[in-house]
Chains A and B, each alone.
Chain A
Amino acid sequence: MHTRGKAFIAGIFEHPTRKAVDKSVAQLHAESARGALEDAGLSIEDVDAYYCAGDAPGLGPLSMIEYMGLKNVRHMDATEVGGSSYVVHVGHAAQAIAAGKCKVALITLAGRPRADGMATGTAPRNYGDASPDVPFEFIYGPTVVNMYAMAARRHMHEFGTTSEQLAWIKVAASQHAQHNEHAMLRNVVTVDDVVNSPLIADPLHRLDCCVISDGGGAFVVVAPEVAASLERDCVKVLGCGEAPKNLMSGQVDLTFTGARWSGPQAFQEAGVAPGDIDYASIYDSFTITVLETIEDLGFCEKGKGGAFVSDGNLISGTGSLPFNTDGGGLCNNHPMNRGGLTKVLEAVRQLRGAAHPAVQVKDCRLALAHGTGGSLGTRMGSSTTILGRADA
């Protein structure tokens, strides 16, 4: 069974908050859900499937379905693969809809790491002492930043990638973020600004990192007959892929991501090639995340990502691959340290022609959204979805 064209994204919402001292996590989820349903022209009575990941409080779907008063849910999914979860959810929702299990799937994300004072990137953290890798890794002080830094270091060693090339990714994101009134970082930066910002974990500088933000978002995936009944401009789900990638029993290779496997799955199902993509939302926890992912998705040859992203090639209007036109995680937001959901949102905006006019891709017909979860330095999830306009 394939799912090409068997589900549509009918509604989206990005919570405008970036620091939510006065709202609970559950409240942020519900406000995001409300926004996405309103955008679609649907109500909570219409929702018959609910999806969330590890950011949802309590018992995930069980807690949030009760909190939001969803009465008609008959399909649930709490797939938790970090920041890549929500792009996985697109695929799982499309599969469930194609199988006739549900017709209106609501997906939410929310969190408040800023309000809670979480040391997101620089404090060693783990997923619990029972995780079998922890005794052999946590003692050495792995943080989010130094793990991605090791991927960057190795990529530089093998392929000659430079800090200046990585910096171009932040430059492009900042060019886009200047037009987003909600973006945390709206100042346009230069390559020099990035490479002269303080080293956090070498070779990554402060401006190689994404922002830390509170907030959330939601989207609604619906069956074709529901999409046809709505007045809203719906976006077609064309293909999805997901893949784990890890340390491979000690055969460590930090120069590629699971996008090497999730990408071809999605392209094959959609029946399109990387060169057909008009706009790409690429998970951007760090500049290196984007660089490796672009290579793995086939937008350029492995090892040539540095040259590909340079000289503004990711900037909408001038580059060959406009990316993250909302400013992405690097400049806009990264709610609950999970950027997968917002990647879907901007892809939908682009296909609707509803991105900011300054960054809207002309005649955008095919878009890709890619999620990354966990760490490029250890174990990660990759998820890719290809979306198209309703007539795609």
Chain B
Amino acid sequence: MSARKIPAPPASVENEDFWEACNEGRLMLPRCGDTGQFFWYPRKISPFTLSGNVEKVEAAGTGEIYSYSVMRRADPQYAIGYVRLDEGITMMTNFVDCDFDSLAVGMKVKLAFVEAEGGQKVPCFTPA
């Protein structure tokens, strides 16, 4: 069974640099420059202070599964989930290159970039 093809992320002037870094194999996490807190999803405005003082920090690329669900009704099936990164924020993702029946809450996972339709690399995760 072939894997589900990930659609191209919609373009936004706000996030061009995020996706360029992904194409270079780096997941850049947004961090509020005023408070030092990481946040998700990426944006150019801090959700803690509403300022434009937002830094980018490369993720270690490791974390654990917060929750997940395998879309059994889809063909091909796919696994969507949330990963709690070691940096302390939780992001939506897909789990790839794994037996979906082996997934579990709390499982250690690592970053794996997957090419979406059109060639953009997007951050996914696979068991560590």
Contacts and interface: CB of A to CB of B under 8 A. Distances in A.
Interface of A: 122, 129, 132-143, 145-147, 149-151, 153-154, 157, 198-204, 247, 249-252, 254, 378
B4 A141 contact: yes
A252 B66 contact: yes
A153 B68 contact: yes
Interface in B71-97: 71-74, 78, 80-82, 84, 88-94
B113 interface: no
A132 B18 CA distance: 13
A190 to B, nearest CB: 22
Contact of B43 (A132, A139, A141, A153): A132
A249 B48 contact: yes
B: interface residue count bin: 35 or more
A136 B84 CA distance: 15
Chain B contact residues: helix, strand, loop or mixed:
loop
B69 A140 contact: no
A132 B41 contact: yes
Contacts of A254: 66-67, 82
B90 A150 contact: no
Given A140-B80, A141-B78, A149-B69, A250 B15 contact: no
Interface of B: 4, 6-10, 12, 14-15, 19, 37-43, 47-48, 66-74, 78, 80-82, 84, 88-94, 105-106, 116, 122
Given A150-B81, A249-B47, A250-B89, A135 B72 contact: no
A121 B25 CA distance: 33
A141 B94 contact: yes
A137 B42 CA distance: 11
A140 B94 contact: yes
Nearest to A142: B80
A201 B9 contact: no
Contacts of B78: 141
13 contacts: A132-B14, A138-B10, A139-B122, A141-B4, A145-B69, A150-B68, A154-B67, A154-B105, A200-B71, A200-B73, A202-B72, A249-B39, A251-B90
Contacts of A203: 69
Nearest to B66: A252
A202 B90 contact: no
Contacts of A200: 71-73
B91 A136 contact: yes
A291 to B, nearest CB: 15
B41 A137 contact: yes
